[in-house]
Chains A and B, each alone.
Chain A
Amino acid sequence: MTFFFYLFATLTLLMTLLLLLSKKLIHLAFSFLGVLLGIAALFVLAGADFLAVAQILVYAGGVLVLIIIGIMLTQTAPKENGQNITSHSNIISAVLVLVLFSMLVYAFISQPFEQQTWIQNAQIQQKTLQTSTLPSTGILLMTQYLLPFELTAILLLVAIAGAITLLQYKNKSRIL
């Protein structure tokens, strides 16, 4: 179990690095696919089977395909010159990011997570790994999380209606 965790964690990290370092959009999209699949594997190892499947279906299956289609439709002649990476502001942000990262690492290492009661309880019960989370997720969505669930409906309706509104204006003579 631990071996697989480290395997997939390394894979995800490598893919993330590749994503950040790649210059071509299509390389970026495929390393992103690696990241998403790695995270899905980590979800499986954490016992979150529903989340893992949703991750693969929604992100790897939906979002990534959208990104690739987007790249296909918007691709223009490559402009590879003129990218000045070591500009002044980049150095500042690199320093800031490093400081934040080391702070986070220190904070995570020094935090006594194993003393927390809810984590201790979860370790004793070991419930999550034995049964599928799908039925309880469904029941929770329809009981305890009913209101957020319904709110998501309005959220999606707003997003769809808004996207259509913005698109319709492309056909008008106005600018945009």
Chain B
Amino acid sequence: MKPHNEVVVFLQSLYKDSALLMPEWVLCITFLGLFVADLWFKKQRIWLLWSLFAGGLVATMIVTILQFNSCSCQFEQFFFAKMLYLDTFGVFFKLFLVGATLLTAFLIPLSPTFRAKENFFRGEYFYLIVAVLIGAYLVAMAQHLLMFYLALELISIASYLLVGFNFDKKSAEGSLKYILFGAFSSAMMLYGMSLLYGLTGTLQVGEPQWITTIFKTPTLLHYLALSFFAAGILFKLAAFPFHFWTPDIYESAPSPVVAFFSVVPKAAVLAFVFRWASWFPSGQLEWVYAVGFIAVATMLVGNLAAFWQDNIKRLLAYSSIGQAGFLLAMVLVGKDFNLSSLLFYLISYSIANFLAFALVDIFAHFFGQQNEMPYAIENYKGIGTVKGLESVAFLLAMLSLAGIPPLVGFSAKLLLYSTLWENYHLLASQWILWILFLSVFLSLVALFYYLKVPYQTFFLPNTSAIPLERPSTFYDVYAKVLVLILSLALLVLFFAPNIIMAAIQQIKLG
């Protein structure tokens, strides 16, 4: 037990540190505000809640930007009793996460759940998303296994619930599946954490002493503990042995939620993974082999299984598995990797992904509520002649995901390949060269399934008997503006990547 004085000093330091948690405070206020507002306002509340939600996110974004600006150098520090670690890398990820959530907010009005009258919209939708974001913020900064686990669990529990928000049988089934898979992987991760604790005697990760105990002379138990721990992380990333849940869950959840899942929890966990990767001892190649194997297997599984999908959401689910493989390939080289290429890839992937999911919902609206399967790919036959703008935007999103110029996905892939090439020279490991070849080959393969839908829209005649539904003018204009902005972002970032590159290059992993 600590003496009284020591406790007081400790509490004062916590009080001082809480100023650094400003963005999280704003998020918590948004969360509770939405909670109360949801109970308070009865009529016309959808848009009111939506604007509260978006307003809270904008406020969080502003506070995070202030934090980013105030802290360019000599900023790296532990705070809150070493629970969290603040560096430009973490703050940039937080900025990215809140940006992605804001995009989700703009996607929500497009979704069928938001429009349907008889299925009145639930305010819980908004604050559960905010809860996921709080968890993601803390995961991006966590330096303590307990903190990391709780934050990850906050993400998970809110996610399980969000999957069920279509409130139909399929959605409930998806939610239940997600809970079972998720609970299993969390349990494995906890077991790994308990082993790591037994091996080191501390939950505080990342300190020099901890790193040497774990990585310098690993025994079999170290490897087992780390693999158990990795199970939970790979589950959240939807990477190779733990990817089975992805297509089912993506198919049954509301599209904005899916777009959100495919970016925000993944990015938060990636931030954590990259911190771990920077601790791998640079001399030893076992870590390169292990991560490389998972990355390659993930790419293979995602890109090859995507071929046989006839549902657009399942196709995008496999595509996101494949993209997770590409992102993991960047972890390969430990502390020597090029941060800016990772961040650029993440941004380019997210914009294209959000555009794709926005269009999935817009097209589903055109196909109408009578359509039993609004997400089947065969619906898209010949729609290019009727809905020109949307179809072209879909083509752009797919081409950007596949990495074709003149879209930002191409620059991102190019950066990835050049980073891998540099690291091949640096580490002189044939393995990296093979990964490089395989990822180039697989992005070519991916082109075939990415073009599956645009092929249907532009080259096949329309055979559907059901006429397209006419959306309301407001919906139409809103959808067109959103689609235009996102498509332009894909083009502009290709021609002028410096807009974000300038900011990205300042980022350092502390």
Q: A143-B10, A158-B131, A158-B161 are in contact. Are A151 and B224 (CB under 8 A)?
A: no
Q: B169 — which chain A residues lie within 8 A by C-beta?
A: 175-176
The reply to whether A146 and B14 contact each other, CB–CB distance below 8 Å, is: yes
Q: A154-B28, A154-B31, A176-B168 are in contact. Are A147 and B84 (CB under 8 A)?
A: yes
Taken together as a complex, chains A and B put the C-alpha atoms of A165 and B128 apart, in Å, by: 11
Q: A82 — which chain B residues lie within 8 A by C-beta?
A: none
**Which chain B residue has the least Cβ–Cβ distance from A146?**
B14
Q: B219 — which chain A residues lie within 8 A by C-beta?
A: 107, 110-111
Q: B18 → chain A, closest Cβ, in Å?
A: 9
A-B contacts at CB below 8 angstroms, number: 103
Q: Which of B9-41 contact A (CB under 8 A)?
A: 10-11, 14, 28, 31, 35
Q: B33 → chain A, closest Cβ, in Å?
A: 13
The reply to whether A143 and B11 contact each other, CB–CB distance below 8 Å, is: yes
Q: A104 — which chain B residues lie within 8 A by C-beta?
A: 224
User: Secondary structure at chain A's binding surface: helix, strand, loop or mixed?
Assistant: helix
The reply to whether A146 and B81 contact each other, CB–CB distance below 8 Å, is: yes
Question: What bracket does the count of chain B residues touching chain A fall in?
Answer: 35 or more
User: A128 contacts the other chain (Cβ, under 8 Å)?
Assistant: no
Q: B31 — which chain A residues lie within 8 A by C-beta?
A: 154
User: B147 contacts the other chain (Cβ, under 8 Å)?
Assistant: yes
**Which chain A residue has the least Cβ–Cβ distance from B83?**
A147
Partner of B81, one of A103, A108, A144: A144
For the complex of A and B, the 5 pairs showing the least CB-CB separation, nearest first, are A118-B201, A162-B161, A107-B221, A107-B220, A111-B221
**A-contacting residues of B (Cβ < 8 Å)?**
1-2, 7, 10-11, 14, 28, 31, 35, 80-81, 83-84, 119, 122, 124, 127-128, 131, 134, 138, 144, 146-147, 150-151, 153-154, 157-158, 160-161, 164, 167-169, 172, 198-202, 219-221, 224
A-B contact pairs, 18 of them (CB 8 A): A103-B220, A103-B224, A104-B224, A107-B221, A111-B220, A118-B201, A144-B81, A146-B80, A147-B81, A147-B147, A151-B154, A155-B150, A155-B153, A157-B35, A159-B157, A162-B161, A166-B164, A176-B172
**B-contacting residues of A (Cβ < 8 Å)?**
103-104, 106-108, 110-111, 113, 116-119, 135-136, 139, 143-148, 151-152, 154-155, 157-159, 161-162, 165-166, 169, 172, 174-176
